[in-house]
Amino acid sequence: GESVGLHLPTLSVQEGDNSIINCAYSNSASDYFIWYKQESGKGPQFIIDIRSNMDKRQGQRVTVLLNKTVKHLSLQIAATQPGDSAVYFCAENLPSGQNFVFGPGTRLSVLP
């Protein structure tokens, strides 16, 4: 199938370890953020979102942290599994809400 993100930054982690994927977003006025996971040949899959009035949100095995001061977003994945291997994108949305702007992506590779 199609390979997504051939030349993206890669994060390699051992199975069972925690992963931290970082994203610098571009617009200080953005008020809504989403992390997506994309596997080869598939569309982006929603993982977790956060609004700008929060600095942390937890889901199942995932946590998103938002630092508005430095325009930084991170995704933490606990107990990383082989099925977590994919390209991860952060997306930001302005209050006008016209569209989601995607970051460049990070490839997560889970080592056995």
Closer to other proteins by CB, 18 or 58: give it.
Answer: 58
Least separation in angstroms between residue 48's CB and other proteins is 9
CB of 75 closer than 8 Å to CB of 10:
no
Q: Which two tokens stand for residue 78?
A: 């606990």
Q: What is the DSSP string of 28-74?
A: TT--EEEEEEE-TTS--EEEEEEETT-SEEE-SSEEEEEETTTTEEE
Closer to other proteins by CB, 80 or 88: give it.
Answer: 88
Query: Which residues does residue 78 pair with via DSSP β-bridges, in sequence order?
Result: none
Q: Which two tokens stand for residue 23?
A: 């994203």
- Which residue has 């200080």 as its token pair? 28
Least separation in angstroms between residue 60's CB and other proteins is 15
Least separation in angstroms between residue 16's CB and other proteins is 29
Q: Which two tokens stand for residue 1?
A: 């199938």
**Interface positions with other proteins (CB under 8 A):** 2-8, 32, 34, 36, 41-46, 49, 51, 89, 91, 93, 97-105
Least separation in angstroms between residue 15's CB and other proteins is 26
Closer to other proteins by CB, 96 or 112: give it.
Answer: 96
Closer to other proteins by CB, 2 or 70: give it.
Answer: 2
